[in-house]
Amino acid sequence: MRGKHGSTNPDLGAALVGFLTRDNVELIDADRGATVAAIQWSLRVSARRIPDALIAAAAEHARCDAIATFDERMTSPSVPVRLV
């Protein structure tokens, strides 16, 4: 979306929030409120980290103790991140 359509990360984050808060959209592996809050957190911290926010919301919903990753820049507002 960024490259092909020229959208900015904050615009994409806002569009995701708008989509996720529609009445006819249902999340299966994450809590809607936690996912929206994580995206909003990402937009405040670094809009380039929206994927991290989605992973964190899914990990929180699954009650994970930690997120294991090779990404040294991975951050999460709710679940501890551990480098592998």
Tokens of 65: 């103790």
80 residue type, one letter: P
pLDDT digit string, tens, across residues 30-82: 889 989 998 998 888 776 788 888 898 889 889 999 999 999 989 888 899 99
67 membership: H or E segment, kind and range: strand 67-69
Give the model's pLDDT for residue 23. 93
Give the model's pLDDT for residue 3. 65
List Cα–Cα distances, 50 to 15, 42, 79, in angstroms: 12, 6, 15
Give the model's pLDDT for residue 70. 95
Q: What is the pTM (predicted TM-score) of this model?
A: 0.74
